[in-house]
């Protein structure tokens, strides 16, 4: 087993070899740009690590890991267009640096490129990876649509929100890990169990992302802090604040999220005060911890050593204690 940093290093090296300036530049330069912006590289690292955990050669999982990363960044390019987001990882989003049409077309190309990477595997592995990829990609789109729908709904429930983040974020984390298990030829039970570990960890990860969107440090978070509040997103923080509020406070919070003031900083600060005073911020922290525990509980069924289970737990704990 390698360190997380070593997996990241190996993946970035492979990514740099994959990135090239093909023609037409208007299509491929934005792809190289978004792939080169860095980020946590969480999903590809999980693919490589999982292949190693099941005694496979992590280098054979590099194409699957790259597919996951290319697809993830494709979804970010299109999400940023839909959200009209100015920043991604502290830099201009693709549609801001170029234009919306470029973002749409380059994103489309990335989706195709992600699928093509499976062609580097023999037929049985290709089929398993492609089947999982197709299922996951469609679920991510469904999650994005739920997210869009929730912006204009005032009756979103906590279970609906959790389903949305499961599809939009968590299934790709689960799939990244299962792909590593597939490449390593792990048993079907182990493939499914490591998927569940990743899925639960992915839900916790997104809840943590929601929390950091409101309470993160702008210098380390990489995105516009308070972006969810500006966009009136019905996050876990918001839904819990409604649940814990009295009638008058619920009305005030709802009206705040329907407003579009010129000074967005005031809106952000008022929303954060609601999140803290109602106990919503604390409840979100507790939910993050609960889904992390659920992820860890699923490790017991895995046919791997205790040392490897400990490694996965350490990774999960570090992920939930992040500030970026």
d(CA 289, CA 323): 15
**With the C-alpha atoms ordered 290, 144, 30, 62, is the resulting torsion angle positive or negative?**
positive
**pLDDT band with cut points at 50, 70 and 90 for residue 216:** confident
Q: What does pTM read for this prediction? A: 0.91
Two tokens, residue 202: 């992915």
Confidence of residue 217 (pLDDT cuts 50, 70, 90): confident
Distance between CA atoms of residues 82 and 115, nearest Å: 23
Report residue 247 as tokens: 């009638």
Closest CA to 281 of 202, 208, 231, 227: 208
How many helices (DSSP H) and strands (DSSP E) are in the chain? Answer: 17, 2
CB 51 within 8 Å of CB 60 = yes
Is the peptide bond prior to 24 cis by the omega test (within 30 degrees of 0)? yes
Helices 188-215 and 42-53, packing angle to 10 deg: 150
Residue range 92-97: mean pLDDT, rounded: 97
Detail the DSSP E strand segments found in 31-178: 87-88, 91-92
Mean pLDDT (the chain, rounded): 93
Confidence at 32, pLDDT banded by 50, 70, 90: very high
pLDDT one-digit tens code per residue, 119-133: 999 999 999 999 999
The pair of structure tokens assigned to 36 is 């080169």
Q: In this structure, what token pair is assigned to residue 191?
A: 């493939």
Instruction: Kindly report which listed range (50-54, 71-75, 219-223, 237-241) carries the lowest average pLDDT score.
Output: 219-223
pLDDT in tens, 262-310: 889 999 999 999 999 999 999 999 999 999 999 999 898 999 999 999 9
In the prediction, which pLDDT does 43 show?
95
Longest dimension (CA), the chain: 62
* Res. 224: pLDDT tops 70: no
């Amino acid at each position: 087993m390698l360190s997380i940093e070593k997996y990241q290093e190996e993946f970035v090296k492979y990514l740099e070899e994959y990135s090239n300036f093909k023609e037409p530049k208007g299509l491929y330069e934005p792809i190289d740009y978004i792939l080169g912006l860095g980020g946590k590289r969480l999903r590809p690292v999980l693919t490589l690590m999982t292949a190693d955990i099941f005694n496979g050669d992590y280098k054979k999982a590099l194409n699957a890991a790259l597919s996951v990363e290319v697809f993830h960044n494709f979804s970010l390019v299109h999400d940023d267009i839909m959200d009209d987001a100015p920043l991604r990882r502290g830099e201009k989003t693709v549609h801001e640096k170029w234009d919306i049409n470029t973002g749409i077309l380059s994103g489309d190309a990335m989706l195709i490129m992600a699928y093509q990477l499976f062609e580097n595997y023999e037929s049985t592995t290709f089929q398993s990876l492609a089947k999982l990829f197709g299922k996951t990609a469609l679920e991510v789109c469904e999650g994005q649509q739920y997210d869009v729908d929730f912006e204009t709904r005032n009756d979103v429930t906590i279970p609906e929100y959790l389903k949305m983040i499961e599809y939009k974020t968590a299934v790709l984390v689960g799939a990244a890990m299962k792909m590593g298990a597939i490449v390593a030829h792990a048993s079907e039970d182990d493939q499914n169990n490591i998927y569940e570990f990743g899925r639960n960890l992915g839900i916790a990860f997104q809840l943590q992302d929601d929390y950091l969107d409101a309470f993160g440090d702008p210098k380390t978070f990489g995105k516009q802090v308070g972006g969810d509040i500006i966009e009136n997103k019905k996050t876990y923080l918001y839904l819990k604040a409604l649940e814990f509020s009295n009638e008058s406070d619920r009305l005030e919070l709802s009206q705040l999220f329907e407003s579009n003031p010129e000074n967005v900083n005031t809106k952000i600060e008022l929303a954060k005060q609601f999140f803290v005073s109602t106990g919503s911020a604390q409840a979100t922290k507790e939910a993050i911890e609960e889904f992390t525990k659920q992820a860890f509980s699923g490790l017991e069924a895995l046919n791997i050593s205790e040392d490897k289970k400990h490694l996965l737990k350490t990774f999960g704990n570090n992920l939930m204690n992040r500030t970026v």
